[in-house]
Structure formats: structure tokens, C-alpha cells
Structure 1
Amino acid sequence: MNAAVIAPAGSPVPAIGPAATAYLDALRAIAANLVIGSHIVLVHYQGNVRYPGGSVAVSIFFLLSGFLITQSMLNRAGRPGPRLPGFLADRVARIMTPYVPALLLIVALNVWLITTHWGAPEENTGLRPFLGNLLMLQDHSVFQLLEILRIDIPWRVRPYNTAEPFWTVAVEMWIYVAMGLFVFCLLYGERVRRRYLWPLLVLSLPVFVWNAAAGGGKSLSLIWLIGAAAGWALARLPVSLRSGRLSLCVAGVGAVALVGRIGKVGFDGYDLQTAVLMALVLFGVLCHLLNARSVPQWVDRACRFFASYSYSLYLIHNTVLIVVWELTRDAPRWLSIVVGVLLSHVVAYLLYVAFERHYRHVARWLRPWFERALMPKPAAASIVAPLKPQAQRF
């Protein structure tokens, strides 16, 4: 759910040019709208229509997330000083800046306008689910494991009623934390205060492990790692192996194999082998576009615009669709769908303008707090002011 990374000068990660950036933006925008289609099926057709677009979209989001966040971590690894606090501050700001107001808006709409019940059969409205969603504990892997063990936990946290898409946001957040700890603490030896290290490990590692083999997306952690491997390869492999005809061959082989797999076993966007083949196609095309020197201005602007609020659209669209569905039950179905989709885009763009686009300011404000909290005291005391962000787009 993040835009392309434009590497700063001297970065260990090659810069992504305008054509490749527009391509990544287009993927994000397309994926967000595919998710809308999946919830149209659920709201208006009660899930009786087969539509794989939702799983495809989530897999694309996690592939792109692994790719881009890995490149971001590689960039940070080449900088002096502590890196984990800044990384976590940026990730929290990117996720939470639109997430919190979206959750508050969803709670308000569920209280004032929505009368139907959605999501899991357990209680998923009220103060406890709100706080659980705010803390990214909805459908945490510990709850899911206890359910398999037939241990009834009455206070299990579910996505807040119409905020069903939020479960993937929580998974992604804890993957960020787990991978940040792995890269910066385990690989690069960065020290973190134990009072925060252990809670972060206890909350994030089970989510990462569980979603490697189970969870709502079956193997989202592994799908994220596939994207991460592609991000590492782009940064480390020679130019001759990253672009040109070889990249088109990789994309072509992936496309042919994907069609063959669909013909043999059907299509499931969450299937790990399917995700691998999708990655070959997506990143093969991306590598080829690295050679493109320019892109038509109108294409770049369109891709940038629709991608800019795609995360806000992902957060709010399901609630807007349900509000429109409840208020237009006597209207033709097609009209309710059209109004719901258009209004989802309008509300999402307003959410982006009011909140999401300001996440960099939130990140700058959070960094010194994270540095003081996470770093050992001698290192934290040596920090005079937070570093200015490099030229990046997340």
C-alpha cells in the first residue's frame, strides 16, 4: 500500500525512474479498486458471485509492500547512526495517519447510519473492539490459535463491524515491526531497550509466523517475503540481469506458467505458487520499465493521482458501500453500486487531503519520540535533533 521509493543520491538502491514509478502507482490504484469489487459482491450479492479480485489485490499489496519496504531498509542500512527508531516511526506514521481518522469515521457511521451487522459473528462494535482495532490487535494470531485449540476467549478482538479490510493492515503493521527488528537488530546489531524489545517481539513475531502458514490470506508473510526478495534482487543484481530482454523473458515465463496453473487448479490469489508466478510477471515488467527514460505526462499524473489516495480508499470504501446500500434499498442495484463506488472515491480523496498526505510531518514528529524510547540511554542522549527525511515517496 505504499508508493514507489525514489532513492536519494549515493543510495545503495538504484533509483526507480518515472516509467517504473508510474507502473507501481498504477498497480496500487488497480489493486485498491479490485478490493472494492470484492466488497460489492459481498454487500450486493451476499458473496454468491465468484470474484477473485479481492485476494489478487491483497497479494499485490503485500508483494509491493515487501519490495518497497526492503528497498527502504537497504537505504537506511547504509546510513550512520540508529536506524530502527526512524524506520518504525515512518511506518507507524504511514499506516496510522489515515487509519485513526478512518476508524473514527467508521465508528461514527456505524453508530448513526448503519443498522446491519457485518463481519465475524462475535461482538465487533463498542469500546473494546474500537480499542483493539486502534492497537492493531484485530484477529491477532494468538486469538486465532486459541480458536483452533477450542479455547473460548470472549474478549477476542475482531475488525470493527464494517471495517473488515482492516485485518490486512494489522498484519502488515506487525510484519513491518518483525522485519525491522530482524534486519536492524539481528543483522546489523542495533541495540534496543529491552522494555520495548520484548513486547514488540511478542506482538509481531507470532503474526509473522502465523501468516506464513495460515491466517486470512493463508501465507501473507511468505508473499511479503517474495516481494522482499525482488526488492533485494533489484538492489543487488547487475544492471544486465535486472533489465532488458531478460526481464521480459522472466515476465513471459511467469505469465505462461500462471495461465497453466489457473487452467489446471483454478485461480486463488492467496495461493503461494500463484503469488510467485504473479511476482515474476509484475517485477519482470517493472525491471523492463527501468530502461524507459520517460512516460507521457498525462499517464504519470493519472497514475500518481489515483495511487495517492488508494490506501484511504482501501480503508473507507466498504463502510461507504454499506451506507449507500442501506440508504438506497428501494433503488435499482446498479444505481446503488455506482453511487457507492463514486462516493467511496470522493470520501477517500477527502480523507487523503485531510490526513494521509501529511504522514511525513507526523513521521518527523514521531522520530525523536521513538529514538528516546527505543535507544539505550547513552545513544539517545547524544541525539540533538531528528534527521531530515531523505527524498523518498512511500
Structure 2
Amino acid sequence: MIISRCKQLISNKLPPPSHNPKHTHFYWIDLIRFLAAFAVLASHFRGAFFVDYASLPVHQQTLPIFCFFSITRLGHEAVLIFFILSGFLVGGKSIERILNKKFRPLDYSIDRIVRIMLPLISSLLLFIPVCLWGDFPIYPKVWIGNLFSLQGIACAPVFETLWSLSYEVWFYILMCAVGYSILYKGTLKGYIGLITLIISLSVFTKLESYYLFIWFIGAFGYLLIPNKSRILKYGAMIFSLIFLIILQLSSGGSKMLISISPNFVHILEIIFCSVFCIFMVQSIQNIPSTRFSKKLNRIGTRLAAFSYTLYLTHIPVRDILVRLGAPKSQELTISSVGLYILWLSIALSIAYCIYWIFERNTSKVKIFIKSRITHKNINSNYNLQ
């Protein structure tokens, strides 16, 4: 009854198929994804290669420099945007397929595992020489725990950015469990799905559960895409910027210009994610019409291809640069900003090279695994006959 009601509600909210934005290409979403990854890179590198704003000489604590530090302090908000994108592209599509009984748990599992593991393995391999060079201990249990996305649950992340990866994986596991428990209701698979769902929900008692809520904001953004509206798009953009500024002014790096309790910060982040999701689903319906916009959208697609690898590998690259003697600048000068841009360029280049070896072959690995499973099933059925 509940499932049919949800399906009816979604179908009533959506426009006819010929005008449904979900049946077209999502423009600009790749550019958003890359910019989010680049914001995380810029944030971590600025923190590593510049002192905090409060530690700058007094004569450099000016509004333009404050803006530079604020723009390069968007790493956490960029991760929130990643959660929205993941909920939109994975969660929303999965819920739609479950409601339409087109969800294939095996294909979904293969797609998610391969998508996660190839860049993850490449980043961990890159971090090994960092540990050896810096005399950092390598604890096998921790590394194995990170491979199984248990960081934040049973172990610490091997390096900073891996904290969010456990959230992504458990988002995926939870959604797969929902699919199993609904599609195979009353069967052994259905009960396994239900047990997995309970385990997944219990995991979020250890993790920050409000991130799961943010992920579902993205999912419902996909399911309930409103028709194009300039008022809605620009209104959501303005409110996104307002809440982004409030979050920045309340962060520790800005000397806590606004004092807000942690719980209220979570509420502000949820509001920011909600209005940003509205802005995003409005923006992706804008078809590039000018030569510049078409080229920009194509560039965004190319850059987004290695954004996940960039997100995972830039921390090992940063630590390698630090071990090589890259200085931490005490003030902003032409040379220090030039070095900062150089370090960013090196991280981008290395990430692209690693992407070319690992993440670029994601589709090939998925096809290979699925073909092997299909071939095995065919042989099993033949032997049974």
C-alpha cells in the first residue's frame, strides 16, 4: 500500500515522459561534480601550504584575502554536495527502479563495488610510499577496514578524505537492502535484504545520521524534479549562497565570527543542501545554447571523469609534496600563490594519470565481471539440463 502510494505520488508530480527532465541528459551536473572535487583539493592544499587567516600578518588580514581564504575553505560543503549528487544519481534512480520493479540488485552491486574499489585501491597504493617515506606505521587491520569501508565504525580512516567514503558505501548498501527486501518480499532473499537493512541503519548510529538525510535530499530531488522556473532557480541560488556564507562565518578558520552550536550547524547544512538541490535540479535542465556554454559543458564532462580519483589521491600527493620540502607560506605573495597553483596543477596531473590506469577502465571491469557471471549462469543451467 505504501509503495503504491509513493509510486502514484511520484508519477503525479512528474511531467509527461516527453517533457520529463529525467529522460534527457543532465547538463552541468558533471561540471558541478568536478568543481566540488576541486574545492576539496583547494581547501586541503591551502591548509597545508598557507598558515591560517588569523596567523597572517595584520596588514594582510584584508577583505580580498579573507575572501580567498573563505573560497578555499569550502571543502566540507563540497563533500555535502557530493552526497547530494550521489543521492540524486544513485539513490533517486534506484528508488525509481525499485518502484517500477526494474531494480537489479546484482548489477547494482557490481556497478557500485567496481566504481568504489578501483579509485580506492589506486589511492591506497599511492599512500604506501608516503607511509614508508614518512615512517608512518601501516596497520593492516586499519587498511583492511578501509577497504571494507569500516572507517568511522570500527577503525580510523587511513587518510582524511576516506571518512566520507564509508558513508557513500553504506548509502549504497542500504539502498540495495531496500531493493532486496521489497522486490523479494517473503522469500529468503527478502529476509536477507531486511536483515541487511537493519544492519545498515544500525551503522548510522555510529556514523553521523544526518548525512543520510542529506543523501536522501538528493534522491528526492531526482524523483520530484520540478518544471523549469527562473524564479525557483535564482531564488535557490541566492539562498544557497546566503547559507554558505553563514556556514563559512561560523567555521573555526574564520575566527568564529558567528557563534553557532554544532547541532544548529547541522540544521543549517541540511537547509543549505535542500536549497542547493533545488538550484541543481533547475540548472541541469538548462540546455547549453551558446558556443561558450556548450564548450564549458563538454569541459566539465571531461574533468568530471577523474574527479573521484582526484578526491581520493590528492591527500597522498599533498603529503609527498610536504615531504619533498614544499613550504608553508606565512603570507600571501605572488610567489606563494604561484607555488600554490603549481601544487594544485601537480595534484591534478597525477590524479589524471592514475585515473587513466584505474578509474578509466571502470566500465570495462564492470562488463567483464557481468559477462563472466552471465557465462557461469548459462553453463550452470546447461549442466542442470
Give the alignment's TM-score, normalised by structure 1: 0.70
CA separation in 1, counterparts of 2:126 and 2:244?
41
Distance verdict in 2 for CA 1:137–1:330, change over 3 Å: closer
Offset at residue 86 of structure 1 (A): 0.9
Residue type at the aligned position of 1:56? E
1:15 pairs with one of 10, 19, 23? 23
Instruction: State the match for 1:287 in structure 2.
Output: 282
Instruction: State the match for 2:227 in structure 1.
Output: 242
Distance verdict in 2 for CA 1:339–1:300, change over 3 Å: same
Instruction: State the match for 1:85 in structure 2.
Output: 106
CA separation in 2, counterparts of 1:187 and 1:206?
19
Q: Judge which range, 221-230 or 39-48, deviates more.
A: 39-48
Distance verdict in 2 for CA 1:193–1:347, change over 3 Å: same
Contact 2:29 2:284 in 1 (8 A): no
1:61 pairs with one of 82, 99, 108? 82
Per-residue CA shift, 1:261-281, capped at 9, x if unaligned?
558957999733333334323
1:127 pairs with one of 113, 137, 140? 140
Q: CA RMSD in A?
A: 4.0
Offset at residue 260 of structure 1 (A): 8.7
Instruction: State the match for 2:94 in structure 1.
Output: 73
Instruction: State the match for 1:228 in structure 2.
Output: 219
Contact 2:31 2:304 in 1 (8 A): yes
CA separation in 2, counterparts of 1:315 and 1:383?
44
Contact 1:32 1:57 in 2 (8 A): yes
Per-residue CA shift, 1:221-246, capped at 9, x if unaligned?
11111111111112xxxxxx421345
Instruction: State the match for 1:298 in structure 2.
Output: 295
Offset at residue 61 of structure 1 (A): 0.4
Contact 2:173 2:200 in 1 (8 A): yes
Distance verdict in 2 for CA 1:223–1:66, change over 3 Å: same
- Please state if 1:176 is matched with 2:172: yes
Instruction: State the match for 1:314 in structure 2.
Output: 311
CA separation in 1, counterparts of 2:365 and 2:345?
29
- Please state if 1:204 is matched with 2:207: no
Instruction: State the match for 1:344 in structure 2.
Output: 347
CA separation in 1, counterparts of 2:191 and 2:371?
18
CA separation in 2, counterparts of 1:128 and 1:11?
51
Structure 1 residue matching 2:45: 3-state secondary structure: helix
- How many residue pairs match? The answer is 332
CA separation in 1, counterparts of 2:241 and 2:305?
32
Gaps of 5+ in 2: 1-16, 55-68, 251-257, 331-335
Contact 1:34 1:57 in 2 (8 A): yes
Offset at residue 36 of structure 1 (A): 1.5
- Please state if 1:30 is matched with 2:25: no
Instruction: State the match for 1:360 in structure 2.
Output: 363
Contact 2:221 2:277 in 1 (8 A): no
CA separation in 2, counterparts of 1:165 and 1:252?
27
Gaps of 5+ in 1: 1-8, 118-123, 144-156, 214-218, 235-240, 385-394
Please tell me whether Structure 1 or Structure 2 has the larger radius of gyration of its CA atoms.
Answer: 2
Distance verdict in 2 for CA 1:244–1:306, change over 3 Å: same
Give the alignment's TM-score, normalised by structure 2: 0.72
Instruction: State the match for 1:328 in structure 2.
Output: 325
Residue type at the aligned position of 1:251? A
Distance verdict in 2 for CA 1:317–1:227, change over 3 Å: same
Identity level (%): 22
Offset at residue 74 of structure 1 (A): 4.4
Residue type at the aligned position of 2:304? A
Q: Judge which range, 335-344 or 251-260, deviates more.
A: 251-260
CA separation in 2, counterparts of 1:196 and 1:228?
24
Offset at residue 288 of structure 1 (A): 4.6
Offset at residue 363 of structure 1 (A): 1.8
2:184 pairs with one of 179, 185, 189? 189
Residue type at the aligned position of 1:361? K
Structure 2 residue matching 1:169: 3-state secondary structure: helix
